Amino acid sequence: MALKTPPMKKRLTQSEEFEIMKLVLDKFLWLGFGIMVFGLYKMVTDTLLNGIGWLIAGIIVLLLFMIIIVKEYEIIS
């Protein structure tokens, strides 16, 4: 019985990898923005403290977004 060799994995070009990463990071950006808008809504309709909690959660998501971009693309200022 002969052993099968696993098929070679397809490599993505740098532009294909960048396009996929843009799609993923775009979702983080919309999620963070949506959470912050929900926080503003909660500040108006509910308690101020509850809204601030949601705003902080949105800020954390956007900070994670920024960290992923800096680590992935090695952006150095």
Task: Measure the CA–CA gap between 77 and 70, rounded to whole angstroms.
Answer: 10
Q: pTM for this structure? A: 0.65
- pLDDT tens profile 11-70: 878 788 778 878 887 887 888 899 999 999 999 999 899 999 999 999 998 898 888 777
Look at residue 76 in the predicted model and tell me its pLDDT.
Answer: 57
Instruction: Report whether pLDDT(77) > 60.
Output: no
Instruction: Report whether pLDDT(75) > 60.
Output: no
- Write the DSSP assignment of 7-51 as a string of letters: PPPPPPPHHHHHHHHHHHHHHHHHHHHHHHHHHHHHHHHS-HHHH
**Residue in this structure with the two tokens 């809204």, named with its chain if needed:** 51
CB 35 within 8 A of CB 57: yes
Task: Measure the CA–CA gap between 43 and 40, rounded to whole angstroms.
Answer: 5
2 or 14, greater pLDDT: 14
Look at residue 57 in the predicted model and tell me its pLDDT.
Answer: 92
- The two tokens of residue 20 are 């996929």
